[in-house]
């Protein structure tokens, strides 16, 4: 498996990230273990989660995904095969990016994950009420303590990311090495206009979330009827427009040419984009995972990429 670097760090990852938001939500513990085993068996190694997953589910408090991953580490003994990312800042009981909150939240996550260190620790959201240097200083302490290896930013604007990088350079504080924005064939404009230039300028790794647009780009949602009684159905309805159907038509065509699935093609398109290090995608079964893993082996032809680019062009 060809690997890619996380910024200027020595961490190397495969070109596909597994999104752990499903663990403890739409995938129970045993299913999650099977998916995780299959994931690393494919030669993939980067797993992304957050302390807030899955607090949105009735009866959950957050930390459910981390807890399942931690149990899998203990049972499987495969911690050494994984580049592990989690996040801080969005959980209601650990909200924000103050130094005190980060110090408490990282210990909570380490306990649930049953590990001594986190490879990549993300600021889940930009906390504009906390000075950027306070947040970076808190991360510096975690890095010195061996609790965190690399830090990343999720849901930052290009302007704020640039400001954080400038402060890190001026103050000798750790810099964000990796960015996690929303980006996929449908949701292109925000990343391509505001974040991609900053990431490329500073050689920051990019691991976009919603790689399949909440499942829309898999092709399984073709009408509002298809979204009913689905965990992510309400998130998909916004894609059911003329541009969305144009993208699905292009995905169908390219999938047919390559004897594969629309989901595989959608992820392969992202993997082929020079600024993208590895898209994040989730699966709730081993069979679904096979379709995702296939994207790392699919080399799209120039005409395939052009068709997808034109169908998804946000300028239209």
Give the model confidence (pLDDT) of 165-177 as tens digits: 999 999 999 999 9
Question: pLDDT > 90: what percent of the chain?
Answer: 92
Q: What is the pLDDT of residues 223-276, one digit of tens each?
A: 878 777 666 667 898 999 999 999 999 999 999 999 999 999 999 999 999 999
Question: Count of H helices and E strands in the chain?
Answer: 13, 10
C-alpha–C-alpha distance, residues 288 and 282, integer Å: 9
Give domain limits for the chain: 4-180
- Exactly one of 53, 139, 186, 239 is catalytic; which is it? 53
Q: Using CA atoms in the order 122, 126, 130, 136, what is the torsion angle rounded to 10 degrees?
A: 30
Those residues with Cβ within 8 angstroms of residue 258's Cβ, 6 or more apart along the chain or in another chain = 264, 265, 298, 300, 304
pTM attached to this predicted model: 0.95
The CA distance from 91 to 61, in Å, is 9
pLDDT per residue as tens digits for the range 46-105: 999 999 999 999 999 999 999 999 999 999 999 999 999 999 999 999 999 999 999 999
Reported confidence tier of residue 183, pLDDT bands at 50, 70, 90: very high
Number of residues that make up the chain: 316
The CATH number corresponding to 4-180 among 3.20.20.100, 3.40.50.1000, 3.55.40.20, 1.20.1440.230 equals 3.20.20.100
Contact in structure between 136 and 164 (CB atoms under 8 Å):
yes
Distant-in-sequence, close-in-space partners of 31: CB < 8 Å, separation ≥ 6: 284, 285
CB crowding 262-278: b at 16 or more within 10 Å, else e: bbbbbbbbbbbbebbbb
Secondary structure of residue 89 in the 3-state scheme:
strand
SS3 state of residue 161: helix
Give yes or no: 183 in active site. Answer: no
Token readout for 255 is 């999938």
Q: What is the pLDDT of residue 316?
A: 46
Nearest Cα to Cα of residue 310 among 183, 188, 182: 188
Q: Give DSSP secondary structure letters for 244-266.
A: HHHHHHHHHHHHHHHTS-HHHHH
Cβ of 41: how many Cβ atoms within 10 Å?
13
Q: Which helix (H) or strand (E) holds 312?
A: helix 302-312
Asked whether 70 and 106 are in contact (CB, 8 A), the reply is no
**Distances, alpha carbon 133 to alpha carbons 130, 155, 158, 167, 196, in Å:** 8, 18, 17, 7, 23
Question: How confident is the model over 188-208, as pLDDT tens digits?
Answer: 999 999 999 999 999 999 999
Average pLDDT, the chain: 95
pLDDT tens digits, residue range 98-131?
999 999 999 999 999 999 999 999 999 999 999 9
């Amino acid at each position: 498996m060809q690997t890619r670097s996380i910024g200027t760090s020595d961490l190397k990852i495969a070109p596909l990230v597994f999104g752990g938001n499903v663990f403890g939500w739409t995938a129970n513990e045993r299913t999650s273990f099977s998916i995780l085993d299959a994931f690393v068996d494919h030669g993939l190694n980067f797993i992304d989660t957050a302390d807030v997953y899955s607090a949105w589910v009735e009866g959950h408090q957050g930390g459910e995904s981390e807890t399942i991953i931690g149990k899998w580490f203990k049972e499987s003994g495969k911690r050494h095969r994984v580049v592990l990312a989690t996040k801080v800042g969005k959980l209601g009981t650990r909200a924000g990016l103050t130094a005190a909150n980060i110090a408490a939240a990282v210990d909570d996550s380490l306990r649930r994950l049953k590990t001594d260190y986190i490879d990549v620790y993300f600021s889940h959201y930009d906390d504009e009420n906390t000075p950027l240097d306070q947040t970076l200083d808190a991360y510096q302490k975690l890095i010195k303590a061996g609790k965190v290896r690399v830090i990343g930013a999720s849901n930052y604007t290009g302007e704020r990311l640039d400001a954080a990088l400038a402060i890190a350079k001026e103050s000798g504080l750790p810099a964000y090495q990796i960015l996690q924005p929303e980006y996929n064939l449908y949701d292109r404009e925000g990343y391509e206009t505001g974040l991609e230039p900053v990431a490329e300028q500073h050689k920051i790794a990019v691991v976009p979330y919603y790689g399949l647009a909440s499942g829309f780009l898999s092709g399984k949602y073709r009408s509002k009827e298809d979204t009913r009684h689905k965990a992510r159905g309400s998130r998909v309805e916004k894609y059911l427009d003329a541009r969305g159907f144009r993208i699905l038509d292009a995905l169908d065509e390219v999938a047919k040419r390559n004897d594969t699935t629309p989901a595989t093609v959608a992820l392969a398109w992202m993997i082929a984009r020079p600024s993208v290090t590895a898209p994040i995608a989730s699966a709730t079964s081993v069979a679904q995972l096979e379709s995702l893993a296939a994207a790392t082996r699919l080399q799209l032809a120039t005409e395939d990429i052009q068709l997808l680019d034109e169908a998804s062009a946000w300028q239209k």
